[in-house]
């Protein structure tokens, strides 16, 4: 991923001690201001003093000021080298303040009993949320569903690969087909939930139900039984995301050097054999990347489930995200919901790490 | 009477037949999948012009088996007739539409700005932030992709409440920027690593600073990649539902939230839902058709190295 080529610049910066002192002053003064404002706000929220703050906004503004001063001071203190840091620092600060801080805060929430509709507010309750989670069959059920949803990627991959092969063949109107195949990816999952889930699959008037009846199914019902509902959700999600894998695989196919396929042809490889012994092994690295990214997106699956089945029938289509969404929407249970999310995050990190380690062996191009 | 002198050999004939059958199979599969992709869009568009009896009878083709009516579009105040008078539903719809537009555009702009700078820095210079070197920093950015939204959602809910950012556009813009930033950095790193460093070296010999070289030399070359990253971010932010549903209530609602809230109400007025859904997907369909090659470029960037 990292490029070997890097820019080496030698600069002779003469930075006066006074300038360095100014830079340090900028950082520390703004940090002191931030600490002061934050302390004042903490004092008010714990009831020790009254400053007339209504929200935590002042702390936010002080934080922004500090972040700006930190970036600016880089140039003041370190000259040209500071200017280089300035490329990465804003993005890094942005991500750190928007993920690391909320995650730490989330950990605090996760170990507390906190119901937003309860006026008593937050109280620390140790591992009680964990115990509740352990005994919550619906959470385990949602996790189990995620396994099935992830496994469905195999089928999606097979379809996406064949579509990519089709688009890579000698065909006319390639651009039309490419645009048409891409369009499902552009549609909002919520709109898709209505377009397909609520109207086209509607039991009486939906065109797909009509088609099913015409094909001889007596009472087409797509969300009645557990497995049928799960499959329908899988199909709808696949419909939106197959183009995504297809495009990555198509790019991979187009990057295969012509000489290789021609040499294989000369050697007598045709049809299936050429595919299995030449194209497929060459496509392994791209396939692994595409599947990994697809898994990441699949683990976030929620919109369709929330809007079409809201987890039903009996939790058969629930994903972890949609389950936590309802836990909050119906019970305002922030503490328990956060604990579930945190456990999910830990599971995902472990799963993805193992998967990436395992995939790294296959993703290396064979030479 | 002419006699045929040249004949196709039998093996050639077999070859022709095989060629034709493979053609038919390929185009058959292509057309089948194109129908699968396009039919839901066609269905939504036509349903928005139908009346209740047309929906129940399953009429499909306008002007042949039903007469298009503006009823569905009237329900969101967008029919030619309704456009001439004031309507509250239209104001509501336009408010959501504006929210979506503003939020998606600003979040994508911010993400492309921050992401391109970071990607450029990471592809050109050696950094050390504490124990983290370049690869660690890249990994740190990309690892954000794994973070499921649900982990951030509830802490943000509480934080935003305290910061009075709940139900504001700014709040959503910040979060959306965060969610698309890893993708932008991925695409842009790939983009910058294809540009030779000699270009900047030459520019610096001519007296430009690092930032000067970046803005005058590198940025124009990397522009197609930036457009690709921007459009991909736009697609993701325009369609985002989860955060919008949790963090907004009345002021900063986006279109997906509006669509979802209408789906919940069980009185099936298909025509108005169809019109609303179609209005929600139309901007991206236009972008998809016009700028397809940028989207493909963006998605292909990470795949092939």
Helix (H) or strand (E) holding A234: helix A226-255
- Residue A199 · residue B43 · CB < 8 Å: yes
Which has the closest alpha carbon to A164: A150, A154, A174, A153?
A174
Residues B46 and B115 in one domain: no
Q: Which residue of A has its CA nearest to B156?
A: A102
What is residue A148's predicted lDDT score, i.e. its pLDDT? Answer: 94
Q: Which of B44, B59, B82 is the last residue of a domain?
A: B82
Nearest CB partner across the interface for B204, out of A1, A9, A250: A9
β-sheet bridge partners, residue A124: A112
Residues B47 and B166 in one domain: no
Residue-wise pLDDT tens digits, A21-59? 898 998 999 999 999 988 888 888 887 777 777 788 888
Residues B89 and B76 in one domain: no
Chain centroid to CA A22: 42
What is residue B263's predicted lDDT score, i.e. its pLDDT? Answer: 67
Query: Which residues of chain B make contact with A339, given a CB cutoff of 8 A?
Result: none
Residues B141 and B256 in one domain: yes
Residue A258 CA to residue B295 CA, distance in Å, equals: 25
Nearest CB partner across the interface for B163, out of A56, A179, A189: A56
Structural domain that includes position B53: 10-82
> Could you give the C-alpha distances from B171 to B159, B244, B252, B290, in angstroms and in order?
10, 10, 9, 31
Mention the CATH class of domain A134-363: mainly alpha
In a domain, B247, yes or no: yes
The residues of chain B scoring below 70 in pLDDT are 1-8, 11, 263-268, 302-305
Which has the closest alpha carbon to A185: A144, A141, A239?
A239
Cβ-based contacts under 8 A for chains A and B: 312
- Residue B64 · residue B42 · CB < 8 Å: no
- Residue B108 · residue B180 · CB < 8 Å: yes
Contact: A188, B38; criterion CB under 8 Å = no
What is residue A158's predicted lDDT score, i.e. its pLDDT? Answer: 95
What is residue A11's predicted lDDT score, i.e. its pLDDT? Answer: 65
Angle between helices A101-110 and B149-163 (to 10 degrees): 90
A367 Cα to chain B: minimum distance (Å): 15
Query: Which residues fall within 8 angstroms of residue B287, CB to CB, at 6 or more apart?
Result: A186, B231, B234, B235
> Could you give the C-alpha distances from B243 to A162, A168, A365, B33, in angstroms and in order?
35, 38, 39, 32
In a domain, B1, yes or no: no
Nearest CB partner across the interface for A320, out of B150, B177, B300: B150
Q: How many CA atoms lie within 13 A of A334 on its CB side?
A: 25
Q: Which residue of B has its CA nearest to A180?
A: B34
CATH number reported for the structural domain that contains residue B235 in this entry? 1.10.3720.10
Residues B130 and B191 in one domain: yes
**DSSP assignments along B159-222, one per residue:** HHHHHT-TT-HHHHHHHHHHHHHHHHHHHHHHHHHTS-THHHHHHHHTT--HHHHIIIIIHHHH
In a domain, B159, yes or no: yes
Backbone angles phi, psi at A224, to 5 degrees: -85, -55
What is residue A47's predicted lDDT score, i.e. its pLDDT? Answer: 78
Contact: A5, B150; criterion CB under 8 Å = no
In a domain, B293, yes or no: yes
Q: Which of B82, B108, B133 is the last residue of a domain?
A: B82
Q: Which of B82, B111, B140 is the last residue of a domain?
A: B82
Residue B50, token pair as written in the block: 């139908």
Helix (H, G, I), strand (E, B) or coil at A100: helix
Query: Which residues of chain A make contact with B238, given a CB cutoff of 8 A?
Result: 188
What is residue A177's predicted lDDT score, i.e. its pLDDT? Answer: 93
Determine what percent of chain A is predicted with pLDDT higher than 90: 31
Residues B62 and B95 in one domain: no
Give, in degrees to the nearest 5, the angle at Cα B293 between B254 and B37.
65
Residue B27 CA to residue B35 CA, distance in Å, equals: 12
Helix (H) or strand (E) holding A113: strand A112-113
Residue-wise pLDDT tens digits, A45-95? 887 777 777 788 888 899 999 999 999 988 888 888 888 888 999 999 999
Query: Which residues fall within 8 angstroms of residue A348, CB to CB, at 6 or more apart?
Result: A299, B146, B148
Residue A365 CA to residue A58 CA, distance in Å, equals: 53
Residue A54, token pair as written in the block: 């209504």
Number of domains in chain B: 2
Q: What's the full length of chain A, in residues? A: 367
Chain centroid to CA B130: 37
| Domains of chain A, residue spans | 17-110, 134-363
Q: Is B113 exposed, middle or buried (0-12, 13-18, 19+ CB in 10 A)?
A: middle
B1 Cα to chain A: minimum distance (Å): 40
| Helices and strands counted in chain B (H then E) | 14, 0
What is residue A363's predicted lDDT score, i.e. its pLDDT? Answer: 63
pLDDT per position in chain A (367 positions), as tens?
A: 344 467 766 666 677 888 888 989 989 999 999 999 888 888 888 877 777 777 888 888 999 999 999 999 888 888 888 888 889 999 999 999 998 888 988 888 888 888 777 777 777 777 788 888 888 888 999 999 999 999 999 999 999 999 999 999 888 888 899 999 999 999 999 888 888 888 888 877 888 888 888 888 877 788 888 888 999 999 999 999 999 999 999 988 988 888 888 888 888 777 788 888 888 888 888 898 899 999 999 999 988 998 888 877 888 899 999 999 988 888 888 888 889 999 999 999 999 999 988 888 766 655 4
Residues B271 and B170 in one domain: yes
- Location of structure tokens 């600016």: A72
What is residue A48's predicted lDDT score, i.e. its pLDDT? Answer: 78
What is residue A246's predicted lDDT score, i.e. its pLDDT? Answer: 93
CA dihedral A129, A131, A132, A135 (to 10 degrees): 160
């Amino acid at each position: 991923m990292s490029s070997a080529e890097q820019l080496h610049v030698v600069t002779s910066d003469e930075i006066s001690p006074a300038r360095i002192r100014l830079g340090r002053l900028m950082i520390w003064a703004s940090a002191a201001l931030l600490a002061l404002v934050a302390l004042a706000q903490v004092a008010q929220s714990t009831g020790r003093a009254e400053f007339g703050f209504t929200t935590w906004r002042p702390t936010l503004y002080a934080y922004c000021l500090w972040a700006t001063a930190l970036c600016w001071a880089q140039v003041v203190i370190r000259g040209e080298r500071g200017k280089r840091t300035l490329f990465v620092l804003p993005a890094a600060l942005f991500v750190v303040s928007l993920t690391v801080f909320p995650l730490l805060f989330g950990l605090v929430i996760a170990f507390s009993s906190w119901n937003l509709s309860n006026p008593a507010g937050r109280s620390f309750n140790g591992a009680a949320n964990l115990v509740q989670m352990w005994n919550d069959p619906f959470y385990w059920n949602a996790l189990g569903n995620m396994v099935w949803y992830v496994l469905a990627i195999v089928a999606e991959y097979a379809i996406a690969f064949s579509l990519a092969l089709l688009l890579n063949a000698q065909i006319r109107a390639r651009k039309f087909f490419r645009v048409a195949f891409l369009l499902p990816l552009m549609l909002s999952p919520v709109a898709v939930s209505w377009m397909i889930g609520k109207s086209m699959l509607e039991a009486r008037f939906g065109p797909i139900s009509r088609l099913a009846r015409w094909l001889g199914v007596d009472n087409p019902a797509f969300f009645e039984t557990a497995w049928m509902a799960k499959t329908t959700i899988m199909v709808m999600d696949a419909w939106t995301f197959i183009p995504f894998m297809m495009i990555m695989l198509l790019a991979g196919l187009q990057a295969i050097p012509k000489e290789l396929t021609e040499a294989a042809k000369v050697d007598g490889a045709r049809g299936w054999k050429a595919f299995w012994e030449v194209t497929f092994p060459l496509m392994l690295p791209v396939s692994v990347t595409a599947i990994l990214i697809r898994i990441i997106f699949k683990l976030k699956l929620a919109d369709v489930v929330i809007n079409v089945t809201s987890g039903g029938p009996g939790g058969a289509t629930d994903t972890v995200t949609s389950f936590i969404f309802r836990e909050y929407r119906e019970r305002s249970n922030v503490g328990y919901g956060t604990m579930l999310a945190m456990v999910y995050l830990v599971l995902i990190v472990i799963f993805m790490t193992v998967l990436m380690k395992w995939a790294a062996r296959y993703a290396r191009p064979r030479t | 009477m002419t006699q045929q002198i040249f004949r196709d050999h039998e093996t050639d004939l077999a070859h022709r037949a095989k060629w034709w059958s493979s053609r038919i199979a390929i185009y058959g599969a292509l057309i089948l999948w194109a129908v699968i992709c396009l039919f839901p869009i066609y269905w939504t568009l036509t349903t928005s012009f139908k009346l209740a009896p047309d929906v129940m009878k399953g009429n499909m083709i306008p002007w042949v088996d039903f007469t298009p009516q503006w009823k569905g579009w009237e329900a969101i105040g967008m029919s030619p007739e309704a456009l001439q008078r004031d309507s509250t539903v239209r104001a509501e719809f336009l408010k959501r539409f504006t929210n979506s537009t503003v939020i998606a555009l600003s979040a994508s702009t911010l993400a492309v700005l921050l992401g391109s700078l970071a990607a450029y820095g990471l592809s050109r210079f050696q950094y050390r932030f504490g124990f983290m070197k370049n690869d660690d920093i890249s990994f740190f950015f990309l690892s954000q992709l794994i973070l499921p939204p649900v982990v951030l959602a509830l802490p943000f809910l509480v934080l935003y409440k305290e910061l009075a950012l709940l139900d504001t556009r700014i709040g959503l813009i910040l979060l959306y920027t965060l969610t698309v930033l890893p993708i932008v950095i991925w695409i842009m790193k790939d983009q910058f690593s294809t540009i030779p460093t000699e270009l900047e070296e030459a520019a610096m010999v001519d007296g430009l600073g690092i930032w000067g070289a970046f803005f005058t030399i590198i940025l124009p070359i990397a522009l197609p990649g930036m457009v690709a990253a921007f459009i991909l971010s736009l697609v993701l932010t325009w369609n985002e539902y989860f955060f919008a549903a949790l963090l907004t209530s009345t002021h900063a609602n986006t279109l997906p939230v509006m669509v979802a809230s209408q789906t919940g109400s069980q009185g099936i007025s298909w025509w108005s839902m169809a019109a609303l859904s179609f209005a929600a997907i139309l901007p991206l369909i236009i972008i998809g058709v016009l700028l397809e090659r940028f989207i493909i470029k963006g998605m292909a960037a990470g795949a092939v190295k």
